[in-house]
Structure 1
Amino acid sequence: MAALLTALVVVLAMAVALVAPNWSGSGIGQLPVSTPSATQPAQANPSTSSQRAVAQSQTTASEAQSKGVVLITTQTTSGAAAGSGMVLSSDGYVLTNYHVVETSTRITATVASTNKQYTATVVGRDATNDVALLKLDGASGLDTVTIDSDTVNTGDQVTAVGNSSGQGYLSAATGQVVSTSSSITVQNETSASQTETLTNVYETSTQAVPGDSGGPMFDAENEVMGITTAGETQTNSRTGQSSTVSSYAIPIARAMSIVKQIESGQSSGTVQVGPKAYLGVTVQASQSGSVTISQVVSDGPAAAAGLSVGQVITAVDGTRIDSQATLSSVLAQHKPGDKVSVTVSSGYGGGTQTASLTLGTSPIN
């Protein structure tokens, strides 16, 4: 009897969790059944089975395909992860997916063609469109990728290049454009909401894998037409092995418009420039919708305002807080140094209090 296959779509954060969950440390990301999901960061030490899967669908990237591409590794709040990025300027501005660096506390980028490493900082991000702009500290004289300006059509030949499975070198996966206007809902463990929806993205037949997230989707002329972002997989129910059947890419024109806004230095709409604002607490969300403080950082804004473990955050600046995603969304509208009011209750019918505090600078991207 033929083995059963289950279709799954994963947000390619195509970042691979190096020490963290899912995909045996290397995968396109989490896959909701029949729904594209954000690919997760690749694990630092991919398993033999995941390396074998990569070998079946990918080849080593050529010198031309490696030009201007970086291998990204991050330290995160839950371990380590890996992804890819593209050099936009000789002084080290790099384009990648936000999910590749989301929740990171340290980012390292290695130039694929020279193996030179740089510490990177997040200049700005657009979580809704899954785009981030990084700056490599002290970089100069770097080769850059070439941005495509041609119209993308169904049937065009494309190649996804990236740090597949966090292997530490670049691989390439070829295919064709299947659709120029797909919409997908992806699972993304690094996001507070756990999912994200991307609209009008390119669907391709390339077999990208986790770790490829943030890397270039090249056209036939080795010009970047998109950012590899998510993948759809099929899982063999007998062997448990998964293989990518479709990969999704954010159009490069959209990404570059976001980069331009970040470079202007002005946060607007879904684009945020600079570090995140910070309450200085760790919270635990319940199924009932309450958000309870589980840890207060010493000398942080919350500690200075007298907030304590066990209190339930019910509102920030008058906005009702009913989930961790809502709290993150409210804080995303602020920058470090902003003053906000935080309303908390003691839970179980306890009284409420409202404290005024000044938001700090988050150590987490």
Structure 2
Amino acid sequence: MNKRSLALVTTTAACVLALGVPKLAPAATPADPAESVVLITVRSASGEGAGTGMVLTASGEVLTNYHVVEGSSEVSVTIPATGKTYSATVVGHDASRDVALLQLQDAAGLATITPDRDVVSAGDTLTAMGNASGGGELVAASGQVTALNQKVTVDDGNGGTETLTGVIETNAGAVPGDSGGPMFDSEGEVTGMTTAGSQTVTRDPGGMRGAGRSMPITTVSYAVPISDALAVVDQIRSGTETATTRIGAKAYLGITVAPAAGVWVNSVLADGPAAEAGLVAGSTITSLDGQAVVSQSDLAELLAQLEPGQQVTLTWVDPSGSRRSGTIALGTSQVN
């Protein structure tokens, strides 16, 4: 799975903390809603991951979670209904809402989802559908809406956490790989986009004496309301960035950072922006444009606010212990 692909948490605790669109052409609306759901495969330096997406336009705009494609260098999308696979690019994203918009290359005539325009209420029946456990096929899991306007905290994939607000809570049995997939209502319209989930296992208090006895499992899945997700899509389509909505390629320094305390530089790309400023492997970055940096998460957050080509000042301590700084023109990242 990719970094935060619907992370499941198993615990003995009673409660866990896991983790307007254009009108669709009638000809593209499927008789079977599943025809508009796609399988997503991503590749990155850490391996391969899987997720799910929803087709928004016949020409290949696809909605998914940002955490499904975050950190990826290659994204491919397969339409289960036809078996055809497309290369995809990330047009834009909003990490704070966990929303990303993809564009499939050379796509046409695709079946599209129908967003639910009705008021969502607790008790409503819904069905989560997605690439369960990265199995390469669509699997459905039914449930109900259990609460609205919830707040959940999830791993951001950079050693920190991120809080999602306003999400729908359900008891549908979504699993890793379902991230970015739809939660259909009883009419086959999309109520929300699966984004996070957890499992709570209530163990027999008798310890070993309870071996073999059933252990109740409570499943909680969360979804971004489809109206919120489509509002992000509209912002991306407008071509105007906001404090949280990013469009196009990320800025980058041309380094890798070791997963340890502080921002310790593991490697420096030859001829990359950081290398040209004199940064070498074994250095520790301390600030970027005057902003203190004490973790990989800090660095990622600051870079997310910058654009390729922008001039910044980087400060670091080199392997000899000397404090240094330099002006860097940020490069264009090949990583989403």
TM-score, reference length from structure 2? 0.88
Query: How many Å separate the matches in 2 of 1:236 and 1:177?
Result: 22
Per-residue deviation at 1:170?
Answer: 0.6
- Pick from 223, 245, 261 the counterpart of residue 189 of structure 2: 223
Counting only pairs closer than 5 Å after superposition, residues 9-88 of structure 1 correspond to structure 2 as 16-17=1-2, 28-31=6-9, 34-38=15-19, 64-88=32-56
Query: How many Å separate the matches in 2 of 1:94 and 1:243?
Result: 33
Per-residue deviation at 1:114?
Answer: 0.8
Per-residue deviation at 1:129?
Answer: 1.1
Per-residue deviation at 1:185?
Answer: 1.2
Question: What residue is the counterpart of 1:120 in the other structure?
Answer: 88
Counting only pairs closer than 5 Å after superposition, residues 175-254 of structure 1 correspond to structure 2 as 175-188=143-156, 191-235=157-201, 245-254=219-228
Contact map agreement 2:7 2:198 (CA 8 A) in 1: no
* Aligned length in residues: 315
* SS of residue matched to 1:254: helix
Question: What residue is the counterpart of 1:258 in the other structure?
Answer: 232
Go from structure 1 to structure 2 and tell me whether the alpha carbon gap of 1:187 and 1:357 turns closer, same or farther (over 3 Å shift).
Answer: closer
Query: How many Å separate the matches in 1 of 2:131 and 2:81?
Result: 13
Query: How many Å separate the matches in 2 of 1:280 and 1:164?
Result: 34
Tell me the amino acid that sits aligned with residue 261 of structure 1: Q
Per-residue deviation at 1:119?
Answer: 0.4
Go from structure 1 to structure 2 and tell me whether the alpha carbon gap of 1:244 and 1:209 turns closer, same or farther (over 3 Å shift).
Answer: farther
Per-residue deviation at 1:285?
Answer: 5.0
Contact map agreement 1:35 1:186 (CA 8 A) in 2: no
Query: How many Å separate the matches in 1 of 2:218 and 2:256?
Result: 36
Question: What residue is the counterpart of 2:79 in the other structure?
Answer: 111
* SS of residue matched to 2:67: helix
Question: What residue is the counterpart of 1:359 in the other structure?
Answer: 330
Per-residue deviation at 1:28?
Answer: 4.0
Unaligned runs of 5+ in 2: 20-29, 204-210
* SS of residue matched to 2:168: strand
* SS of residue matched to 2:258: strand
Q: Deviations over 1:193-234 (max 9, x none)?
A: 442211121111111111110000111111011001111213
* SS of residue matched to 1:248: strand
Question: What residue is the counterpart of 2:23 in the other structure?
Answer: none
Tell me the amino acid that sits aligned with residue 142 of structure 2: T
Question: What residue is the counterpart of 1:131 in the other structure?
Answer: 99
Contact map agreement 1:35 1:184 (CA 8 A) in 2: no
* SS of residue matched to 2:233: helix
Contact map agreement 2:250 2:333 (CA 8 A) in 1: yes
Go from structure 1 to structure 2 and tell me whether the alpha carbon gap of 1:244 and 1:76 turns closer, same or farther (over 3 Å shift).
Answer: farther
Query: Identity rate of aligned residues, in percent?
Result: 46
* SS of residue matched to 1:113: coil
Tell me the amino acid that sits aligned with residue 130 of structure 2: G
Contact map agreement 1:37 1:195 (CA 8 A) in 2: no
Per-residue deviation at 1:112?
Answer: 1.9
Tell me the amino acid that sits aligned with residue 277 of structure 2: A
Counting only pairs closer than 5 Å after superposition, residues 154-193 of structure 1 correspond to structure 2 as 154-188=122-156, 191-193=157-159
Question: What residue is the counterpart of 1:312 in the other structure?
Answer: 284
RMSD: 2.3
Query: How many Å separate the matches in 2 of 1:187 and 1:32?
Result: 15
TM-score, reference length from structure 1? 0.81
- Pick from 268, 273, 293 the counterpart of residue 301 of structure 1: 273
Query: How many Å separate the matches in 2 of 1:32 and 1:128?
Result: 25
Question: What residue is the counterpart of 2:244 in the other structure?
Answer: 270
